[in-house]
Amino acid sequence: MSLKNIEDIAAYIVAGGKGILAADESNPTCGKRFDSIGVESTEENRRNYREMLFRSKGMKGNIGGVILFDETIRQSAEDGTLLRDLITSQDALPGIKVDKGLEPIDDCPGETVTVGLEGLDERLKEYSSMGAKFTKWRAVINIGDGIPTDKCIDANMQALADYAKCAQDNGMVPIVEPEVLMDGKHSIDDCYDATDRSLKSLFSHLDKKGVNIKGTILKPNMITSGKDSDVQASIDEVAKRTLECLIENVPSELPGIAFLSGGQSDVLATAHLDAMNKIGGFTWKLSFSYGRALQAAALQAWGGKPENVFISQDELSHRAEMNKLASLGEWEEELEER
């Protein structure tokens, strides 16, 4: 891999239909996932699970980058190989989640701002020395009665821009993730409005900070109905409205948009991505940065049992391959039948 700068790195991650495996769950989140399969969330079990994922055959050619949690970037596989080196052996790049979570915003009930700018430069220097090539920071936007407010959107987008500039100054690609949550009964129009406002603010702040858009990846939500809404938008409507919002707000020189799955089922997340790529008409690569939507079937198949490793790896490989096809607009539902 001859990657001379952040522009090369960003383009590599999403080249040829490849996407990102989000394996940066915090230990409490990983604990909830393990609870669902009756496995204790110990450091060793978390290591064994992620090692299994990173050794899957379907990583190669389908996954361009893996987002890691602080614990994981420091861990070694059972045979002593650093997990981050396992990732590079699969022709993928290791990345790292660098935000420090959410804090409530004063005078904004139900809204949060992502923190972690304090000490960020020092953390990035350490992660860069460990071989991390890209970084991730997640902002969270809720839809509800009178929210999101402009105050919440601007505070989060300014923090994303500050983080992105710091990452680029340290030679790493920033993934900027302004997630408008699916939680709630809101309509697809409400989601469109909140996402449109968030993206406008984000790219304004990135521009003011002098962030190199060609060395940046956007990780947005899709434009969907709220999870609890009585009216759920069709796959075609989600695809059309999402593209409409992105084309309106995202600079053409951005190399890639890697969607989060945001609680969608694994196949639905794939179907939405494929529908957008079949429509086409945009300059950026439209790809995926999925956590649950890549891992859910693999986690269930594994169940914490060593004898299930190969079955679990087959599940991850299948989902990675399906999402690569979706990123190329070449997925069909019958390909899911196995």
Given 18, 219, 285, 324, which residue is catalytic? 219
Residue 165 among the catalytic residues: no
3-state SS, residue 39: coil
What is the residue type of 190?
Answer: D
Count the Cβ atoms, other than its own, within 10 Å of residue 231: 9
Supply the DSSP string of 45-107, one letter for each residue. Answer: HHHHHHHHHHT-GGGTTTEEEEEE-HHHHT-B-TTS-BHHHHHHHTT-EEEEE----EEEPTT
Residue 177 among the catalytic residues: yes
The residue count of the chain comes to 338
Do residues 170 and 122 make contact, with C-beta atoms less than 8 angstroms apart? no
3-state SS, residue 171: coil
Q: Which residues contact 44 (CB under 8 A, 6 or more apart)?
A: none
What is the CA angle 26-31-33, rounded to 5? 100
CA atoms within 13 A on the CB side of 76: 4
Distances (CA, A) of 337 to 255, 267, 300, 333, 334: 33, 11, 18, 8, 6
Among 132, 153, 130, 128, smallest CA distance to 142 is for 153
Given 177, 179, 285, 315, which residue is catalytic? 177
Cα separation of 171 and 6, whole Å?
Answer: 6
Catalytic residue positions, numbered: 177, 219
